[in-house]
Homo-oligomer: A and B are copies of this chain.
Amino acid sequence: MEASIYQDYNIKNALSDLPFEQRQFKAGDVIFKKGDDNSHFLMLEQGWAFAVQYLDQDLRSIQHVKIPQDHLGYLFPVDAKYSYDVIALTDATVSFYSWHDVSKVVKDSEFAFNTFSLLSHIEKEILHQRIISIGRRTALEKAAHLILEMQTRIERTKGGTEKGFYLPLKQDHMADLLGLSSIHVNRSMNELRRHNYIEYNRSDIRVINYNGLAMMANFDPSYLQFKPDFDEMQLQQQAAE
């Protein structure tokens, strides 16, 4: 299968010539904390990360899951402190660009402006879908929707459909993403497995019945900006198996 036309709209292409510094993080490391200044533009070269806010010591909400080639933190040079922590979920490499350079490119280059507009747009669409999940889907539907969102996002960066994928989210991360207890996440994942929607073992997950999952979760990948016929190609391919 051919890669999405939207694949061109990525941060690397937009910022190709700019200088940056790289830092390595270990799984569990704090990449930045709530209250830190938005002093650089950050891009996650390798590894996974997540953005989290705490209500108190035991109560937290995960706002974003970041995969390789995603940005971390804010997309524009707003004069604000970070409102959330970002933690490395796996070992990770992060590139730091100066806001001065990035703003200049975004304002001067049509392509960079469009890329950053689209990234901001998609990030918001993901939040919209998360709000729908948390507010109005059942636990089973929440889990199904999250799996399909992650599969779709990962496939885009790989540029193709693979059978299974690596999902380093633990069940307690899923819980804090979906507004559930981790025990109920466990019940839901096992029910998806029992009913042959997915195969699942720790961080290895594989969608068996894409159509069934997508129907149940009311999942339409177009909000992730795959090209319009991606969805149908997926469905046809699944149906043929």
Contacts and interface: CB of A to CB of B under 8 A. Distances in A.
A124 to B, nearest CB: 6
A124 B121 contact: no
Copies of this protein in the assembly total 2
Contact of A131 (B61, B123, B125): B61
Range class of the A interface residue count: 35 or more
A135 interface: yes
Nearest to A75: B120
A61 B63 CA distance: 18
A76 to B, nearest CB: 4
Contact of A132 (B53, B107, B108): B53
A152 interface: no
Nearest to A64: B128
20 contacts: A53-B132, A55-B137, A60-B136, A61-B132, A63-B131, A75-B120, A77-B117, A78-B114, A78-B117, A78-B118, A80-B121, A84-B128, A107-B113, A127-B127, A127-B128, A130-B131, A131-B179, A134-B134, A134-B179, A135-B178
Interface of A: 53, 55, 59-61, 63, 74-78, 80, 83-84, 103, 107-108, 113-114, 117-118, 120-121, 123-125, 127-128, 130-132, 134-137, 176, 178-179, 218, 223, 225
